[in-house]
Amino acid sequence: MTPNQPEPKSNGDADRSLPVTWKDELLDHELSQADRSVAEQRLLDDAAEREEFTQLQELDETLRRILVAGELDVTRFLSRLATRTAEQPVQLVQVSSSADDGQLQGRHRLGPGRLAVVLSMLALIVVAVLVRSPANQWIDMVAGTKAERLHPGALLVRATGPVIVQSPNRLPETIFVSWQPRPLPAGTTVRTQAGVLCELELPTTGRTRLREDTEVVVEASNQLHLVSGMMWCRADGPDGITVKVPASHSGETVPPQLAAFVCPTESVSSWIARPGITTCQSLSSKSVDIQIPGTFSCTMAPAERMTLESPTIAVSLGVGDRLSALSWQLPLLVLGTADDPELQDLLQQMLAAIGETKMSSLYVQQIRELGPAGTIPLLAYVQGERSRSARHVRLSAMQIISDLAPESARSDLMKLSRDNDPVVKALANRALQRLETPGE
């Protein structure tokens, strides 16, 4: 209809009064049926009103396109809720409610539990920065003595404190590992105390690391007996490494039955023997067959755990957390060289986990307040696999990185500038541009 056309005659309802906001209510289907008829008639009658309503419809379409709220990730939320509920006893959140107005009053402060987490994060970031720095010179405690080594059952190559060893037919002795590895003959018992970790090299067959409060007997260079505690083991030799573990505990006076497993070459595993329970976790990146000679073998998926119910019965416990099975080794690994790929890999995984925790536990502004150093765990997080399943969080992290990442992040930013996600790519390029033009 054009303005020159004759206006249609209004019917009797046209005089009915409409609310001032009738066009909005018509648009939103909030008018009553009677008012709707009147409103529609008025639009037919009045070109100016019609024009205004058309503009309102256009605005409505634009707003519907732009103002879209994302869905809440309920699984993630419930996980945060569980964490929050667990933290509640130590959290200093004072909440009071008034029955009259339903408003909450109080102040949210950093509780001691959360403060400890933040401080430990910062400590790890400092360690990470130090280790990642190529200029940093670490003292190699095991340097340059391989040619002089004998061929013992094992070599005690590094430890974070005194280790108790007892060779066959000798009294126990306390060893402080300095720069020279200590040969241990076959049959030696190695014991770590609280706070001490140690690493044994098994010549030509692999390597093992003992957690604190652990006892292992090196029966041969390719055979270990875990008496109690926790042990990590990597098999390099063609025949693998045999690991003996207690398979049942009938009582303190009866020695436990032992089960022997053969960990194949190129496998990595973690073993725990505690009173009443023995478990194994595969830490290899692919499935491995772990055998009990003469009985059975079981195929373990990456990160899968199993428990031993008898010398011949193993039950799967499902996939466990790979990082927590490795992270205890960090104090031992930092005794090596800074460019150790194993150390770098572990740090990257730990930083990624810290980055993920930061993104889920802190406000964006709080992370920003940590400054450029605070972006280091975020860089690890956005490069890790886990972040790819949470794009929105990944992009939030990238936004912070883009604004704050320091010069030392340049190589990580170069990698991210080739990311498959175009937004990540653009934000990485923006950060690189910022670093190119300091002062802007």
Per CB under 8 A, residues contacting other proteins are 19-21, 23-25, 28, 30, 55-56, 58-60, 62-64, 66-72, 74-75, 77-78, 80-81, 84-85, 88, 93, 95-97, 99, 101-108, 363-365, 395-396, 399, 422-423, 426
- Reduced to 3 states (helix: H, G, I; strand: E, B; else coil), residue 10 is coil
Q: Which is nearer to other proteins, 193 or 366 (CB)?
A: 366
Tell the smallest beta-carbon distance from residue 64 to other proteins (Å). 6
Helix (H) or strand (E) holding 416: helix 410-416
Tell the smallest beta-carbon distance from residue 419 to other proteins (Å). 13
Tell the smallest beta-carbon distance from residue 404 to other proteins (Å). 13
Q: Which is nearer to other proteins, 103 or 253 (CB)?
A: 103
Tell the smallest beta-carbon distance from residue 25 to other proteins (Å). 6
CB proximity list for 380: less than 8 A, separation 6 or greater: 347, 348, 349, 351, 352, 354, 355
Tell the smallest beta-carbon distance from residue 409 to other proteins (Å). 19
Tell the smallest beta-carbon distance from residue 426 to other proteins (Å). 6
Helix (H) or strand (E) holding 402: helix 391-404
Query: Which DSSP string do the residues of 195-243 spell out, in sequence order?
Result: T--EEEEETTTEEEEE-SS-EEEEEETTEEEEEEEEEEEEE-STT-EEE
Q: For the chain, first and last CA: distance in Å?
A: 56
Going from the C-alpha of 151 to that of each of 183, 221, 226, the distances in angstroms are 8, 9, 22
DSSP summary character for residue 252: T
Tell the smallest beta-carbon distance from residue 99 to other proteins (Å). 5
Q: Which is nearer to other proteins, 80 or 388 (CB)?
A: 80
Q: Which is nearer to other proteins, 89 or 439 (CB)?
A: 89
DSSP summary character for residue 373: G
Q: Which is nearer to other proteins, 61 or 289 (CB)?
A: 61
Q: Contact 315/334 with Cβ under 8 angstroms?
A: no
Q: Which is nearer to other proteins, 30 or 342 (CB)?
A: 30
- Reduced to 3 states (helix: H, G, I; strand: E, B; else coil), residue 258 is strand
Q: How many CB atoms lie within 10 A of CB 92?
A: 14
Tell the smallest beta-carbon distance from residue 103 to other proteins (Å). 4
Tell the smallest beta-carbon distance from residue 54 to other proteins (Å). 11
Q: Which is nearer to other proteins, 99 or 150 (CB)?
A: 99
Where are the alpha helices (H) located in 67-111, listed in sequence order? Answer: 74-87
Q: Contact 239/230 with Cβ under 8 angstroms?
A: no
What is the Cα 17 distance to its own chain's centre?
63
Q: Which is nearer to other proteins, 97 or 178 (CB)?
A: 97
Q: Which is nearer to other proteins, 66 or 135 (CB)?
A: 66
Where are the alpha helices (H) located in 71-132, listed in sequence order? Answer: 74-87, 112-132
Tell the smallest beta-carbon distance from residue 4 to other proteins (Å). 24
Could you tell me which of 429, 431, 367 has the C-alpha nearest to residue 393?
A: 367
Q: Which is nearer to other proteins, 340 or 421 (CB)?
A: 421
**Which backbone phi and psi does 103 adopt, to 5 degrees?**
-85, 145
CB proximity list for 167: less than 8 A, separation 6 or greater: 184, 185, 187, 188
